[in-house]
Amino acid sequence: MSWWADAVGYEVYLRSFADSDGDGVGDFPGLTKRLDHLADLGIDAVWVTPFYPSPQRDFGYDVADYCDVDPAFGTLEQFDEFAARAHELGLKVVIDIVPNHSSSEHPWFRSALEGKDSPHRDHYVWRDPAPDGGPPNNWLAIFGGPAWTLDEASGQYYMHLFLPEQPDLNWASPAVHRAFEQVLEFWMARGVDGFRIDVAHSLCEDRSFADNPPKPGIGREPEDFGDLLHVHDIDQPETIEVYRSWRRLVADRDVLLIGEVYVDPAPAMDKYVDDALHLTFFFGLNPLEWDPVTFASTLREATESLPDGWGWIQGSHDEHRAVTRFGGGPEGVERSLALWAALFGLPGMPFLFQGEELGLENGVVAPEHVLDPVGKRIPEDGRDPCRTPMPWEPGAGHGFSSGEPWLISETRTDNETASVQAGDPESPLSRTRALLDARRSTAGRRGGPVDWLDAPEGVVAYRRGEVAHVANLTDGVVTVALPGPWDVAHATGEAVLVGDRLELGARTGAILGVVA
């Protein structure tokens, strides 16, 4: 059985996790020191966001060297110390890999800019201008503007799905394939247990480089990425071939390939898994307003569309925090816990994002302190609020850093810190830990296909083997009939079992085991 078959992951946004040297940026020694928090929480794997040398235009998702550590985050030796300590604590190490684009500061791109004869020219996607001298086609960048920037020296445009400082790599070039195989080998030799693949659906382009059709009914010239149907720029069959070859590369090494894949509709996802990636994240809940009925039905449809499961998340370094999206306050925390109870038994691998175990809501970043390139363009979409520093303990800087944090935000309260919450059995931290404990204690008995149970609307209820997960996402008390004798292993709120009827309080999830 693969290590991720019944594992829970935890995303560490390294810049904001723990700073050891007072420069205001989280780093590997800081993370290593705080690994006990993750081991105590009861997770199984740590996914670390990009830590490579980078000009940080997109906070690490612009990589200038795929086989080193940015000095702001530490050294390769400190990476090794982190991985060794994680392994000692029984935690797997998953690292972020960014194959769609590099930084414009990467030596490959700097060489490519030297001209059409550069040995690295073909590492990137170059096209001649359109007859009018403008961009070669109508493709748009996710971070705004055209997906093409003119290199005046050569008179050609290069493609970038994100910032101009993030040129897209050319996956039609065999040299790029070879280079990334070496990158994967480099990190596997250092002991990593998995790769989270950034924008995994977008490596290859349709070689026709034809215009994308406008989305029907937008009623204006396409201006934003969302205004186009992405027929030619992303989600090409050749991309899946890349992952098939990576899958062969990691075969027999028990190394996870989990992709950040955005394709619409979700069933189109199945081609990315099976003999290609092991898992892809499920993002279907993220754009939804909290709504128990839609959440419950969306989870069921997602599970039915990919029965081997998903990487389940409530949030990430790219989303507003889950508790905020779920309405905030104690109710937001209860909804998040109930949702975890629903997600924790489904096939696949749940990933908590740092601070979700503390029930954190969005951090507050004043307009003059906004740093995220997305937030600078469209304030309401900004990603800074979920990226503010982890609050560890009362006192200056809340234990994150002795210096000024890289991202300035309003101070959190002491009750939001990990150390205060550890001493309070009713805190989000204690409640998340208790739920994870119950998940682990029932692990050996949970398995096989998901057997959905009859339940009122807004309630997720299923059985897998000898374990049932029932989550009442609604704001009222519900009763669910559960044929057979059960024990409640754990509930996030009020749960009363009378005969074969389970009464669950508002916003409460429960894990139950068949009575032996």
Instruction: Give the per-residue contact string, 318-357, with ligand NOJ (x = CB under 6 A; - = no).
Output: x---------------------------------------
Nearest 5°: phi and psi at 424?
-125, 110
What the block records as the tokens of 273 is: 């898994």
Could you say whether residue 281 binds ligand NOJ (CB under 6 A)?
no
Question: Closer to ligand NOJ at the Cβ: 198 or 361?
Answer: 198
Q: Is 408 exposed, middle or buried (0-12, 13-18, 19+ CB in 10 A)?
A: middle
| Tokens, residue 507 | 């916003």
Nearer to ligand NOJ, 66 or 486 (CB): 66
Scored b (16 or more CB within 10 A) or e, 276-300 reads bbbbbbbbbbbeeebebeebbebbb
The answer to whether the beta carbons of residues 310 and 348 sit under 8 Å apart is: yes
Q: Confirm or reject binding of residue 393 to ligand NOJ (CB under 6 A).
A: no
Q: How far is the CB of 88 from ligand NOJ (least distance, A)?
A: 29
> Distance between CA 60 and CA 64 in Å, rounded?
9
Rounded to a whole number of angstroms, the minimum distance from the CB of residue 260 to ligand NOJ is 6
Closest contact distance (angstroms) between CB of 160 and ligand NOJ is: 10
The token pair that represents 486 in the structure block: 């059960």
Q: Find the shortest distance in angstroms from Cβ 58 to ligand NOJ.
A: 5
Q: What is the DSSP string of 365-433?
A: --GGG---HHHHH-GGG-SGGGSSPP--SSSGGGGT-SS--SS--PPPPGGGSHHHHHT-TTSHHHHHH
61 vs 187 by CB, closer to ligand NOJ: 61
Tell me, residue by residue from 244 to 273, as one string, x for binding to ligand NOJ by CB under 6 A and - for no binding: ----------------x-------------
Q: What's the angle, vertex CA 152, arms to CA 150 and CA 157, rounded to 5?
A: 25
Choose which of 61, 262, 281, 310 interacts with ligand NOJ (CB under 6 A). Answer: 61
Instruction: Reduce the secondary structure of 16-83 to three states and give it as a string.
Output: HCCCCCCCCCCCHHHHHHCHHHHHHHCCCEEEECCCCCCCCCCCCCCCCCCCCCCCCCCCHHHHHHHH
CA torsion through residues 218, 223, 225, 229, sign: positive
Query: Hey, which residues between 149 and 168 contact ligand NOJ (CB under 6 A)?
Result: 162
Please check whether residue 497 is in contact with residue 486, taking contact to mean a CB–CB distance below 8 angstroms.
Answer: yes
Residue pair 209/198 in contact by the 8 Å Cβ criterion: no
- Between 63 and 302, CB nearer to ligand NOJ: 63
Nearest approach, Cβ of residue 61 and ligand NOJ (Å): 3
> Looking at beta carbons only, is 98 or 228 nearer to ligand NOJ?
98
Site string for ligand NOJ, 80-119 (x = CB under 6 A): ------------------x---------------------
* Amino acid identity at 180: F
Which residue of 11, 27, 44, 58 would you call a contact of ligand NOJ, by CB under 6 A? 58
Least Cβ distance, residue 48 to ligand NOJ (angstroms)? 13
Residue 377 Cβ, how far from ligand NOJ at the closest point, in Å?
Answer: 12
17 and 50 in contact (C-beta within 8 Å)?
A: no
Shortest Å distance, C-beta 472 to ligand NOJ: 32
Examine residue 198 and tell whether it contacts ligand NOJ (CB under 6 A).
yes
C-beta closer to ligand NOJ: residue 163 or 323: 163
Q: Which is nearer to ligand NOJ, 49 or 432 (CB)?
A: 49
Distance CA 291, CA 294 (A): 5
Q: Which residues are catalytic?
A: 198, 260
Residue 408, both tokens? 């300035």
**Contact yes or no for 485/515 (Cβ under 8 A):** yes
Edge-to-edge strand list for the sheet holding 495-498: 478-481, 501-504, 495-498
Q: Applying CB under 6 A, what is the total number of residues that bind ligand NOJ? A: 9
Which residue sits closest to ligand NOJ, CB atoms considered?
A: 61
- Which parts of 301-320 interact with ligand NOJ (CB under 6 A)? 317-318
Shorter beta-carbon distance to ligand NOJ: residue 96 or 416: 96
Work out which of 199, 302, 339, 390 binds ligand NOJ, going by CB under 6 A.
199
**Chain residues that interact with ligand NOJ, rule: CB under 6 A:** 58, 61, 98, 162, 198-199, 260, 317-318
